[in-house]
Amino acid sequence: MIVALLNQKGGVGKTTLALHLAGEWAGKGKRVTLIDADPQGSALDWSQQRARERQPRLFGVVGLARDTLHREAPELARDVDHVVIDGPPRVAGLMRSALLAADLVLIPVQPSPLDGWASAEMLALLSEARIYRPELCARFILNRCGARTVIARETAETRADHDPPVLRTAIGQRVIYADAAQSGRLAFEIDDDGPAAREIAAFTSEIEQLRTGRIAP
Ligand SMILES: Nc1ncnc2c1ncn2[C@@H]1O[C@H](COP(=O)(O)OP(=O)(O)O)[C@@H](O)[C@H]1O
Ligand SMILES: [Mg+2]
């Protein structure tokens, strides 16, 4: 399947979640390619750092920050089990192309009652993509969640009100994600039984459930 992490805002966790999703799948023996569709190339930087640190290769990372993504991603997908697209900042042709390539769009957001979670422009592009691809599935994923109790309550109350809906699994604000990014590693390679490893496993299995069609688009 082709999963795209998209949000026009920077710093919401597109790269972090794309790398961890790809790594979780690779760790389970799946063949995975990560497409870095951000001209800034942070996933490519991570992969280069990983090579410098002599960490084993988990999955391939290719830079493809072009509007032809929707034509190239399915070709790359033929040779692997999953393609994960680390999306570009800003709403542009590149975002449109990623929306046309994906089977599942994940929109990472930092929960905030004041902020719209995704821009109207981005949601409009999502609706537009669904005209061509009605089966396109989209979900918000809460990232960098702080005080657990407050967020848990807010999420339970608001989850049902959002369109697209919100994944059950929320990702915590954890230093280990920043450490992992800097050292070319993944959180579960630093602590394989910690809370980050567990929430990434839950996040990945929730996505697999979406794929097997147990949850509606
Ligand atoms: N759940 C988290 N906990 C702590 N730091 C995080 C978390 N998610 C992302 N970060 C950090 O926030 C910064 C931006 O995240 P990143 O994944 O690069 O966002 P984006 O790709 O959307 O711009 C990075 O330094 C990353 O390490
Ligand atoms: Mg990024």
Check pocket membership of 37 for ligand 1, CB cut-off 6 A.
no
- Give the atom of ligand 1 at the shortest distance from the alpha carbon of 42: 18
Ligand nearest to the CA of 142: 1
Which phi and psi angles does 17 have, rounded to 5°?
-75, -35
Nearest to 174 by CA among 154, 207, 200: 200
Centre of ligand 2 from the C-alpha of residue 184, in Å:
14
AA letter at 167: L
Centre of ligand 1 from the C-alpha of residue 80, in Å:
26
Instruction: Name the fold adopted by 2-206.
Output: Rossmann fold (3.40.50)
Ligand nearest to the CA of 11: 1
Could you tell me what percent of the chain has a pLDDT over 70?
89
Burial of 177 (0-12, 13-18, 19+ CB in 10 A): buried
5 CB-near residues (< 8 Å, 6+ apart): 13, 14, 15, 17, 18, 21, 84, 85, 86, 87, 106, 107, 108
Nearest to 27 by CA among 82, 72, 69: 82
Per-residue tens of pLDDT for the chain, all 217 residues: 999 999 999 999 999 999 999 999 999 999 999 999 999 999 999 999 999 999 999 999 999 999 999 999 999 999 999 999 999 988 789 999 999 999 999 999 987 765 667 778 888 999 999 999 999 999 999 999 986 545 555 655 566 677 899 999 999 999 999 999 999 999 999 999 999 999 999 999 999 999 876 555 5
Ramachandran quadrant class, 35 (left: phi over 0; alpha: psi -120 to 50; beta: rest): beta
Check pocket membership of 155 for ligand 1, CB cut-off 6 A.
no
Centre of ligand 2 from the C-alpha of residue 133, in Å:
25
| pLDDT score of 119 | 79
| pLDDT score of 149 | 45
| pLDDT score of 163 | 81
What 3-state class would DSSP assign to 36?
Answer: strand
In this prediction the pTM is 0.94
Six-digit token string for 66 = 């072009």
AA letter at 199: E
List the chain domain ranges: 2-206
